[in-house]
Amino acid sequence: MIGNRIKACRFPVDFSMIKEESYMAELSLLLEFYENMYKSRRFDERLWEAYTTGKPLGMTHLGIGEEAAGTGTMKVFRPADIVCPHHRSHAHQLMRGCDLKKLLSETLLKSTGVCQGKAGEAHFMDVSKNLYVLGGTLGPCFTVPVGFAYHFKHEGEGNIAVAYSGDGCTCEGPFYEGINMAAAFKLPLLMIIQNNFFAISEDFRKMTGLQSLSTRAAGFRGVRLRHREGGRQRRGGGIQCHQSGC
């Protein structure tokens, strides 16, 4: 499992304990993660540069500082799973294999973009990768994946739907509607909340009085709050709410 492989890579590494083959496997995984995070960071920095120098640019959100959450989690999903990243998701998109040039073209609203420049960054979707960014209107980023999960439950092939969001978005009504339906129908849904503790300028702890976000889902029957990979969803169905600190 990827989680165990990553755990085994804690630094400083005691090289005498590691067999050569497993060391190479860990190293290549780490390099893959690093490359993706680096590309995503550079991509965002270039967008920022373009924005601040007045270049024509569609709406854009940067994921600087949050690259690891998207990079690590995206690694574990199957191509057939449907993933719905939120508005800060260039790292997610690159890790899923989306084309960097087409992503840039879409952000610049060019006809060479993956949605011919009609979607822009906030509605970016790459159907060939089963990736749908739900970043324009906050809230449906929970309810739309519930629909995908409903489909997967009836399809019965063990695929899952994945909903990403920020912490502020859990204050929106659709978060509770989505989680309620997914819990009631035991749908194969994984919710990943990237908690950077701010929604624009408001501190999450002040806004909610909470320290941890995943507890918000505790009132719904059958929702698991533990940090884990997507494996359990495939076997038994049922929703998981996973908070990742940024």
82 in Cβ contact with 155 (< 8 Å): no
**How many Cα atoms are found within 13 Å in the side-chain-facing hemisphere of 92?**
32
48 binds, among Mg ion, ligand TPP, none (CB under 5 to 8 A by kind): none
Report in angstroms how near the CB of residue 121 gets to ligand TPP at its nearest: 12
Report in angstroms how near the CB of residue 3 gets to Mg ion at its nearest: 24
Among 25, 30, 125, 199, binds ligand TPP (CB under 6 A): 199
Per-residue x/- track, 163-182, Mg ion (CB under 5 A):
---xxx--------------
Three-class SS state of 71: helix
86 in Cβ contact with 194 (< 8 Å): yes
In the complex with Mg ion, which residue's Cβ is closer, 84 or 108? 84
Residue in the structure block whose two tokens are 């884990």: 228
Using CB under 6 A as the binding rule, whether residue 167 contacts ligand TPP is answered as yes
Provide the Cα torsion 43, 48, 51, 54; round to 10°.
Answer: -100
Report in angstroms how near the CB of residue 141 gets to Mg ion at its nearest: 13
Binding residues for Mg ion restricted to 179-218, rule: CB under 5 A: 196, 198-199
Q: Which residues contact 85 (CB under 8 A, 6 or more apart)?
A: 70, 92, 93, 131, 133, 134, 135, 164
Using CB under 6 A as the binding rule, whether residue 138 contacts ligand TPP is answered as yes
Using CB under 6 A as the binding rule, whether residue 198 contacts ligand TPP is answered as yes
Using CB under 6 A as the binding rule, whether residue 200 contacts ligand TPP is answered as yes
Q: Which residues of 23-38 are buried (b: 16+ CB within 10 A; e: fewer)?
A: eeebeebeeebeebbe
List residues binding ligand TPP (CB under 6 A). Answer: 87-88, 137-139, 165-169, 196, 198-200
